[in-house]
């Protein structure tokens, strides 16, 4: 998804909701560069209170540490935009919620803030779930700030569908 399409994002969120409702599980989110857009898409779905526990918007490094328990050492060693930080955010969201699943997003939406190693459009993700499941990914999305953020929300939700939907019953 390269274009902003709120309807498609909300449809992805609804699909996540159906999956979590079927398994009796709840979700927590930890967002940085998307600034709550993921949570907004989830809560746009009627009945999401039955499967969405809470969301953390941790834009600053201090918020990541204070609210999610992300180690300052991880931030210093890897930076805010890293799979290590995304993983710590997701694990922290689980630890500070009643959810079975958590997903985290941290990245550089632009138009500034990029570097040669981490250009604008670099976004790191983590998904944490039951039985200490943890996976991470990094993507580089094209487009302006809004497009990067929309693609990030879509990728996070699609990644959760893939992971939560592939578990044995």
What is residue 78's predicted lDDT score, i.e. its pLDDT?
98
Number of domains in the chain: 1
Mean pLDDT of all residues in the chain?
Answer: 95
The pLDDT of residue 167 is 62
- Beta-carbon neighbour count of residue 159 at 10 Å? 18
Q: Can you list the residues of the chain whose pLDDT is less than 50?
A: 1-2
pLDDT single digits (tens) 154-167 = 999 999 999 998 76
86 prior amide bond cis, ω within 30: no
* pLDDT at res. 2: 46
Residue 57 belongs to domain spanning: 6-165
In a domain, 1, yes or no: no
Specify the CATH number for the domain of residue 134: 3.90.950.20
């Amino acid at each position: 998804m390269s274009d902003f399409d709120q309807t498609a994002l909300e449809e992805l969120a609804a699909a996540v909701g159906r999956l979590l409702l079927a398994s009796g599980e709840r979700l927590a989110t930890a967002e940085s560069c998307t600034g709550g857009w993921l949570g907004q898409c989830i809560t746009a779905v009627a009945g999401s209170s039955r499967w969405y526990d809470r969301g953390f918007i941790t834009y600053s490094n201090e918020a990541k540490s204070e609210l999610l328990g992300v180690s300052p050492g991880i931030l210093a060693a890897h930076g805010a935009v890293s799979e290590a930080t995304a993983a710590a955010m997701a694990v922290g969201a689980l630890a500070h919620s009643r959810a079975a699943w958590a997903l985290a997003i941290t990245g550089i939406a632009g138009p500034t803030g990029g570097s040669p190693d981490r250009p604008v459009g670099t976004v790191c993700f983590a998904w944490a779930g039951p039985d200490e499941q943890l996976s991470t990914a990094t993507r580089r999305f094209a487009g302006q700030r809004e497009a990067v953020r929309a693609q990030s929300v879509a990728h996070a939700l699609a990644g959760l569908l893939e992971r939560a939907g592939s578990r044995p019953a």
